[in-house]
Structure 1
Amino acid sequence: MKVQEKSDRLIISEQSDFEPKHIFECGQAFRWEKELDNSYTIVANKRVINVSKLNDEIIIKNSNKEDFNEIWKDYFDIDTDYSQIKSKLNNDDIMKKAIEFGTGIRILNQQEYEMIISFIISANNRIPMIKKVISNLSKKFGDFIQEYNSKKYYSFPSIERLANADVEKVAECKAGFRSERIILASQKIIQDKDIVYNLKSKTYDEGLEYLKTYKGIGDKVANCILLFSMKQFATFPVDVWVRRVMQTLYVPNTAKDLEIRKFAENKFKDLSGYAQQYLFFYARENDIGK
């Protein structure tokens, strides 16, 4: 990988397995907007960047080498060799097609607290609405970051701001019945800070059991949190699209979510989370099972 800094942008070359559309539209993140030029503007880590790909070069605007080395290299999981992961997963025709379709997926390293709150919001919700609620919460309770391309951007709210928020004010952000859950979760994270920020070092089962003690977190939400912020790659979150692709291509159409998850975790082992991302993107973009 080569990183060059030119004016307000970084140009990254010799980096394989990186496609912005695959990364941001595979269900793992919500603070992105697709622009008219097919680039993606991202808010993360109290920064605003714009990411695109031209030929074989990745372009990150509104950033510099220091931020890349300290923030974005880890955020985009640059040091992980996805060619090895894909080689190990590529053991049947279904996965081969899914991997070819979403070849540029990378699982982002996102902040634990933000993922807990974001996926509580995601329960029984559509992605456009999830993004809207998070944007509203950030505008009302977060800190102003900057104006970029004529739009104002705000950081994800601090844990303290949401823990002390009035439920009515949270509800104004269109969070609905999730408003109380957001506040309670924030309070619990403050109380259990030492537990939450050490789940990466715990077993998958320990992490799953702990997260399900939160109001509004069941199997699917807990597994998403474990996968997208806690490096628990042996998990296989099952949502509507994953259920459809698995019932269509792998298991009987009567299989329940727990059966699907156990089947996948047994089949894909410690790479189950990566398999889930390829299958999710493949299923949703191709309306498999719909």
Structure 2
Amino acid sequence: MAKHAVLSSGAKMWRCLPCVKSELRLDLTLACGQSFRWRETAEGHWTGVMGGRVWTLTQTDDSLWYHVYKNQDNRGEECDRKRKAGVAFQVENKPEKRSRVAVKEEEKPVAVTIGQDTEEEEETLRDYFQLNVKLVDLYREWGAADPHFRRIADIFTGVRMLRQDPTECLFSFICTSNNHISRIQGMVERLCQTLGAPLCQLDQASYYNFPSLSALADNSVEACLRDLGFGYRARFLQQSAKQILDTHGLQWLEGLRSAPYLQARDALRTLPGVGTKVADCVCLMSLDKAAAVPIDTHVWQIAKRDYNYTSGTAQKSITDKLHRDIGDFFRKLWGPYAGWAQSVSVIDEYLSACFCHVSYGLSAITTECFHPL
């Protein structure tokens, strides 16, 4: 059985990109509630699914190292090609034709072979972490404009926003309502195991691609996901996928990348289970809207405590107007990448809420403490 790759076992099977930790901290970026499919499979090694393939990432002081596992039957690669072409990957067997037992038999993970260094893999990695954005320069600008940010910047360096697949990001965040990260991770994993195509097996862990819109929209999905513990979210997942396919088409979500921020956010809010915060998260983390600032009670608390924000203090809940006003306040303070800056402040807030000293590092913090960004 293939095993999770570890850099210390031999760097010859790995590839790397120049990337200092001030530009990217894997532990902070992958575990802070942006994506829910990365796991620390060895100390400092993170394994997850990206672009229809399974990756293990690690880093040294000046390099980002990556190892890609490829399927022998190339189903993962085919999915990646279709995704980039704007065509949903079709699962061979729809949910209503697959019993629980049948799923386990017909989706046995295939053997894997070592990935070869390709320009496509490097480009996928650069795109996912948005490495074209110079984070050190942004930190300097935010620190100059914001004394509070300047105080925490040296502790929480290298926090980047991911550029995720819009379908995965949207349907993952529909699962976040009244939830915490560890439970969301379990739900997303069960979603992929049940409706996604198998990619590979490493040690005792099986990896699956994220389900296509067609698989999510199937009429049997709601009942299936309720059986898996999704509760009321099961209906939102199935109905949102169906609405996208019936009303907009397969390429609609990726097309929102070229729409203005508010237009994209309002379009997402028409979907079942998508409120303003979820829409802002999807805009920020998959639709290229760097100015989107997801607002919840934690961010409101930050605004009042650390920035003397007084508007709406008599209110008990966040209205649309208060959401807009707080977002505009931070956009004026931090500029066009306000959503990136907010992610750093949110990490600081959540660690403080857990009563954990920052010197412990993120690996010492249980994900029960975190809410998604």
Name 1:260's counterpart in structure 2: 326
Is 2:287 aligned against 1:230?
yes
Equivalent residues of 2:291, 2:335 under 8 A apart: yes
1:148 CA displacement: 1.8
How far apart are the structure 2 equivalents of 1:14 and 1:141? 35
CA deviations 1:50-109 (Å, max 9, x no partner) are 122233332222354314324112111122211222222112221112332221111111
SS class of match (1:28): coil
Is 2:137 aligned against 1:84?
yes
Name 2:126's counterpart in structure 1: 73
Q: Which stretch of structure 1 is more off in the superposition, 215-224 or 46-55? A: 46-55
Q: TM-score, normalised by structure 2?
A: 0.71
Distance 1:10 1:239, change over 3 A: farther
Gaps of 5+ in 2: 1-9, 69-114, 356-368
1:6 CA displacement: 4.7
The structure 1 residue matched to 2:257, chosen from 200, 224, 231, is: 200
Instruction: Compute the RMSD of aligned alpha carbons.
Output: 2.3
Gaps of 5+ in 1: none
Q: Which stretch of structure 1 is more off in the superposition, 26-35 or 133-142? A: 26-35
Name 1:45's counterpart in structure 2: 51
How far apart are the structure 2 equivalents of 1:203 and 1:11? 35
Q: Which stretch of structure 1 is more off in the superposition, 249-258 or 135-144? A: 249-258
Q: TM-score, normalised by structure 1?
A: 0.90
Equivalent residues of 1:181, 1:216 under 8 A apart: yes
SS class of match (1:29): coil
Equivalent residues of 1:234, 1:273 under 8 A apart: yes
Which residue identity does 1:110 align to in structure 2? Answer: Q
How far apart are the structure 2 equivalents of 1:269 and 1:57? 29
Q: Which stretch of structure 1 is more off in the superposition, 259-268 or 146-155? A: 259-268
CA deviations 1:239-287 (Å, max 9, x no partner) are 3432332232112493745142232123223121111111111211232
Larger radius of gyration: 2
Equivalent residues of 2:146, 2:333 under 8 A apart: no
1:152 CA displacement: 0.9
Distance 1:189 1:286, change over 3 A: same
Equivalent residues of 2:192, 2:208 under 8 A apart: yes
Structure 2 counterparts to residues 275-290 of structure 1, below 5 A: 275-287=341-353
How far apart are the structure 2 equivalents of 1:131 and 1:247? 31
Query: How many residue pairs align between the two structures?
Result: 286
Is 2:304 aligned against 1:247?
yes
How far apart are the structure 1 equivalents of 2:203 and 2:124? 22
How far apart are the structure 2 equivalents of 1:98 and 1:195? 38
Name 1:18's counterpart in structure 2: 24
Structure 2 counterparts to residues 152-191 of structure 1, below 5 A: 152-166=206-220, 167-191=222-246
Name 1:35's counterpart in structure 2: 41
How far apart are the structure 2 equivalents of 1:214 and 1:46? 25
Name 2:61's counterpart in structure 1: 55
Q: Which stretch of structure 1 is more off in the superposition, 145-154 or 54-63? A: 54-63
